[in-house]
Amino acid sequence: MPYHEFECSKCIPERKKHAVIKGHGEDLTDALPLGYLNTIPGTISERGCAYCGAKHVIGTPMKDVIHLSHGPVGCTYDTWQTKRYISDNDNFQLKYTYASDMKEKHIIFGAEKLLKQNIVEAFKAFPKIKRMTIYQTCASALIGDDLNAIAEEVMEEMPEVDIFVCNSPGFGGPSQSGGHHKINIAWIKQKVGTVEPKITSDYVINYVGEYNIQGDQEVMMDYFKRMGIQVLSTFTGNGSYDDLRSMQGAHLNVLECARSAEYICNELRVKYGTPRLDIDGFGFEALSNSLRKIGLFFGIEDRAQAIIDEETAKWKPELDWYKERLKGKKVCLWPGGSKLWHWAHAIHEEMGVEVVSVYTKFGHQGDMEKGISRCEEGALAIDDPNELEGLEAMEMLKPDIIFTGKRPGEVAKKIRVPYLNAHAYHNGPWKGFEGWVRFARDIYNAIYSPVHQLALMDITKDEIPDNGFQTQNLLSDKNLSEEATFSTILREYSGKYDCLADIRKKEYPEMVLTKKLNAV
């Protein structure tokens, strides 16, 4: 077994089995780290808790809902506005967060009266919102507050409202994935089947495991609409509470993020006989195959193929332009869960980058299996790394960029490694054909950013140029003087293009700037 032992973790020998380096000819039985286990004491894990997985990942994207946490206010703030789950109701669910604000006295004397008071006050503060989700935290779970009883009491007194209770305290699983499972199961047990759907098409799906990060869902919804498919509900990005109560009416559950939402698909299949079809919205080949599968299920393959042909013809040349300039760049793919395997093979084949490491904070063994199988030899795979291990990995691998969350990403910037936010994106959406090109553009801009090149300088000994972003001796296009500057170009073309990459591509195809920056 090719275990990798970090120098910083030698005092915790159990950590050795949580990292491997994929060697020549090794299969998954030889190159699979331990995963989805309780965090080893002393490793200072950066995982999210089960409460976070339930509220922050699954619950909060529901748009017409008051999301109230029964616990200390810190739990609520920690899971508020850190992802871009946009919605078409003026982003109500992002603007406001609610907490019962439990204090020490409530731990001693109980907090059920406090919870009821908070529920009533929240509905009065927002009279147009008639739906609520209550999330349990460690504090309210430990003292045994009966959230379900309070919710039933309020619904009897206020019959126009409906309340969903998610009993998922932070200690409810090894990581946030435990919360994914709990809210999936609670939703189907409490709410699915309580509303009759309005069917308007012969082809009806639930789009499951989609959270509308920066508009991802809208890209996919456009494809479904062009195929004549009715999306009954989206679990849960831009999802309506009552639409999600009618999930039983779909002909097919189309599953995007298997790590967070396969549970409800499996239960819908058992309870209502609804089949499950796993898809992938990232990458030209994966997305094309996904649309074909959906088309094949409904017998409308021709509609799917028409979209694929049109979008590929429009966007493939753009992707190829970036691939030529990203080829061979080293990437640490540290996103968390399913993106580990959604992206690993696709970014290598379609963008030319080399995946030198994968890790997951909350993924299960199956996620790591798929991720490692899609990586090249020599890739370092890590389960539940901490900050010191991440730093040591970057020092060893020397990646050109990492895809990760904000916390490890900001750490990477301190050692002059650029990062893209794999959880909330930099300039998304990244799904769909155009979105995949946008992802490549963000990678290109991060790696070749002139500001990042300046960040690589050591101000204690390197000479600092006094011409700012001047491109002297870097431009060869006949239309530009050698004294031209980035700021001049951006001012001139800011009204036409939204990024420097577009300017280079569309206006100055012969520029040798990329080659020069590669040599820096």
**pLDDT tens column, 338-349:** 788 899 999 999
Whether residue 485 is predicted with pLDDT greater than 80 in this model: the reply is no
Q: Which residue has the higher pLDDT, 290 or 505?
A: 290
Q: What is the pLDDT of residue 29?
A: 66
- What's at 506, amino acid-wise? K
Model confidence at 450, pLDDT cuts 50, 70, 90, reads: confident
Sheet holding 131-136, edge to edge: 98-99, 66-70, 131-136, 162-166
- pLDDT of 499: 43
CA distances from 199 to 46, 61, 254, 304, 484 (A): 44, 24, 17, 21, 59
pLDDT of 357 strictly over 80: yes
What region, left, alpha or beta, does residue 335 occupy, with left being phi > 0 and alpha being psi -120 to 50 degrees? alpha
Q: What is the mean pLDDT of residues 405-428?
A: 90
Cα gap 311→216, rounded to integer Å: 16
Q: What is the largest CA-CA distance in the chain?
A: 78
Who's near 439: CB < 8 A, 6+ residues apart?
Answer: 282, 428, 430
17-21, 160-164, 422-426, 441-445 — which is least confidently predicted?
A: 422-426
pLDDT of residue 490: 41
Q: Mean of the per-residue pLDDT values for the chain? A: 88
pLDDT band for position 27 (cuts 50, 70, 90):
low
Q: Grade residue 508 by pLDDT with cuts at 50, 70 and 90.
A: very low
Tell me what the mean pLDDT of segment 53-80 comes to: 95
Instruction: Name the pLDDT band for 26 (thresholds 50, 70, 90).
Output: confident
Quote the crossing angle between the two packed helices 500-507 and 486-493, to the nearest 10°.
Answer: 80
- Return the percentage of the chain with pLDDT > 70, whole number: 88
Mean pLDDT for 478-504 is 42
CA 16 to chain centre: 28
Contact residues for 85 (Cβ-Cβ < 8 A; gap 6+): 60, 61, 93, 94, 211, 212, 213, 237, 238
The secondary structure element, H or E, covering residue 254 is: strand 252-255
Whether the CB-CB separation of 247 and 457 falls below 8 Å is answered with: no
Average pLDDT of the residues in 294-318:
98
363-379, pLDDT tens digit by residue? 888 888 888 888 888 99
Specify the pLDDT at position 76.
94
pLDDT category, 449, cuts 50, 70, 90?
Answer: confident
- Do residues 123 and 132 lie in contact, with contact meaning Cβ atoms separated by under 8 Å? yes
Task: Produce one character per residue of 139-165: b if its CB has 16 or more CB atoms within 10 Å, e if not.
Answer: bbbeeebebeebbeebeeeeeebbbbb
The sheet carrying 230-236 orders its strands as 230-236, 204-210, 252-255, 276-278
Is residue 218 classed exposed, middle or buried when 0-12, 13-18 and 19+ CB atoms within 10 A define those classes? Answer: middle
The mean pLDDT value for 226-239 works out to 98
Question: Would you say 22 and 377 are in contact if contact means Cβ atoms under 8 Å apart?
Answer: yes
- pLDDT of amino acid 451: 81
* Chain segment 102-111, per-residue pLDDT in tens: 999 999 999 9
Range list for CATH 3.40.50.1980 in the chain: 50-190, 204-307
- Candidate from 185-199, 239-253, 276-290, 475-489 with smallest mean pLDDT: 475-489
User: For residue 486, is pLDDT > 80?
Assistant: no
The amino acid occupying position 149 is A
Which class for 243: exposed (0-12), middle (13-18), buried (19 or more C-beta within 10 A)?
buried
Are 36 and 44 contacting, i.e. CB atoms less than 8 angstroms apart? Answer: no
Structure tokens, 158: 């206020």
- Which residues are CB-neighbours of 178 under 8 A, at least 6 positions away? 50, 53, 168, 172
pLDDT at 92 over 80: yes
Find the mean pLDDT for residues 262-281: 97
Q: How would you classify residue 238: left for phi > 0, otherwise alpha for psi between -120 and 50, otherwise beta?
A: left
pLDDT bucket at 466, cuts 50 / 70 / 90? low
What tokens were used for 37?
A: 């286990």
The least confident of 113-117, 295-299, 474-478 is: 474-478
Look at the block and give the residue holding tokens 């020549």: 24
Separation CA 255–CA 232 (nearest Å): 14
**Element at 108 (helix H, strand E):** helix 104-109
- 3-state SS record for 385-426: CCHHHHHHHHHHHCCCEEEECHHHHHHHHHCCCCEEECCCCC
> If one looks up domain 204-307 in CATH, what number appears?
3.40.50.1980
Which CATH number, 3.40.50.1980, 3.40.718.10, 3.30.390.50, 3.10.450.750, labels domain 50-190? 3.40.50.1980
The pLDDT, as a whole number, for residue 503 is 41
Concatenated DSSP letters of 187-203: HHHHTTTSS-----SSS
CA 36 to chain centre: 18
Q: Which pLDDT band, with edges at 50, 70 and 90, does 154 fall under?
A: very high
pLDDT of residue 296: 98
By the 8 A CB rule, do 39 and 176 touch?
no
- Evaluate if residue 467 carries a pLDDT over 70: no
The mean-pLDDT minimum among 3-17, 260-274, 489-503 falls in 489-503
- Is there a contact between 71 and 139 (Cβ–Cβ < 8 Å)? yes
Query: Looking at residue 462, what is its pLDDT?
Result: 77
**Contact at 8 Å (CB) between 401 and 447?**
yes
Instruction: Report how far residue 140's alpha carbon sits from residue 212's, in angstroms, rounded to the nearest whole number.
Output: 30
* pTM for the predicted model, two decimal places: 0.87
